[in-house]
Amino acid sequence: MATKYMTLTAAFAAFGAKLVNYRNTSSLFAGDGALVFSFWTVFFDSSSDLRVYEDEFDRWQNPIAREVARQHVKHAFETKCPVR
């Protein structure tokens, strides 16, 4: 029986990124240079037609995942790469 949900590993793979350690990884770069990021649905603003995501790294309790994601987001902004 098919499910409407996909595993985190499968979701990353669908965007060309190979997720190895899901506990310490919320973001990876795909082979095409795009940042693949695991977003939490509760942090999407649904008050407009735009898909706006807002979160604070200070809220994250895992220091490894927080620092890796922070570095990835910084690199994505600096290089203007796509975010998926």
- 11-58 confidence digits (pLDDT tens): 899 999 998 887 778 899 999 999 999 888 888 887 878 888 888 999
CB 29 within 8 A of CB 17: yes
Residue 2: predicted pLDDT: 57
* Tally of domains in the chain: 1
pTM: 0.78
- Residue 1 counted as domain residue: no
**For residues 75, 77, 80 and 84, what is the CA-based torsion angle, rounded to 10 degrees?**
90
CB 55 within 8 A of CB 43: yes
- Residue 36 counted as domain residue: yes
Residue 45: predicted pLDDT: 85
At residue 71 the predicted structure's pLDDT band, cuts being 50, 70 and 90, is very high
- Pairwise pLDDT comparison (62 vs 48), residue with the higher score: 62
- Residue 32 counted as domain residue: yes
Domain of residue 31, residue span = 8-79
